[in-house]
Structure 1
Amino acid sequence: MSDRSERPHALPGITVALATNCGRLYVTVNRDPVSGLPVEIFCRFGKAGGCGSAVMDGMTQMISCGLAAGMSPDQVVGGLRGISCHRGPHTCMDAVARAVEAAMGTQYDDL
């Protein structure tokens, strides 16, 4: 993997609000202004704190590191899309995959 490049002062991006089993999740996908590829992802729940927020923070930090090191957005989507839990199919992991798809222009009706 290559070294993480220096982040520009500002990046274009989208924020998608998605319903999940754990409540509303706001996923921000920021893109490289030249290539248009996602370079970082942030997630926030509609409610404060909790273990779920900590898990999502850690996961999105690792995804952002992977993207900076050359991981493709398709790999992110492929790794997260369809993950379900005991509450059903609309997990936070699946929501991140759907947000990346939306940022890449492969938007689905279930956003």
Structure 2
Amino acid sequence: MNARSQRPQALPGQTIALDTNCGKLYVTVNCDPSSGLPVEIFCRFGKAGGCGSAVMDGMTRMISCGLSAGMATEEVVSHLRGISCHRGPGTCMDAVARALEAVTEQKEDSC
């Protein structure tokens, strides 16, 4: 699946719950069934609303655009891994990187 192909009605994926400085973050990674590679990602906080939710929504939309266009998962991970904030190193950005790593490490060719 690439940016020009139409998204199927359903995609296989996993949701991973991670603790962050802002609370529980649920990261869903969906994969292209033909390649097994991640093509879209969604994040939701355990609590609704707020600026953090809006930022994560925008960020994951852009990550999904990159992944569906062929951007390597490793590149996304390298850009987000280790980002810290005023609350310390356990940030939401780092959690997204950890979730992508976990999904891709489970099976290199399948989600």
TM-score, normalization by structure 2: 0.91
Question: Contact 2:41 / 2:63 at 8 angstroms: preserved in 1?
Answer: yes
| CA-CA distance at 1:105 after TM superposition | 1.6
For structure 2, which runs of at least 5 residues remain unmatched after alignment? none
Other-structure match for 1:20: 20
Question: Contact 2:3 / 2:65 at 8 angstroms: preserved in 1?
Answer: no
**C-alpha offsets along residues 2-55 of structure 1, whole Å, 9 cap, x if unaligned?**
744211111110000000000000000001111110000000000010000000
Aligned residues: 106
Q: Secondary structure at the match of 1:105?
A: helix
| CA-CA distance at 1:70 after TM superposition | 1.3
CA RMSD of aligned residues (A): 1.5
TM-score, normalization by structure 1: 0.91
Other-structure match for 2:67: 67
User: Which range moved further: 97-106 or 27-36?
Assistant: 97-106
- 1:41 and 2:41 matched: yes
Q: Secondary structure at the match of 2:105?
A: coil
Q: Secondary structure at the match of 1:9?
A: coil
Runs of 4+ in 1 over 2 A off after TM superposition: 2-5
Other-structure match for 2:93: 93
Correspondence list, 1:48-63, <5 A: 48-63=48-63
| CA-CA distance at 1:106 after TM superposition | 5.7
Rounded Cα–Cα distance in structure 1 between residues aligned with 2:65 and 2:28: 15
Rounded Cα–Cα distance in structure 2 between residues aligned with 1:68 and 1:28: 15
Q: Secondary structure at the match of 2:26?
A: strand
Other-structure match for 2:78: 78
**C-alpha offsets along residues 66-102 of structure 1, whole Å, 9 cap, x if unaligned?**
1111110001100100000110111000000000011
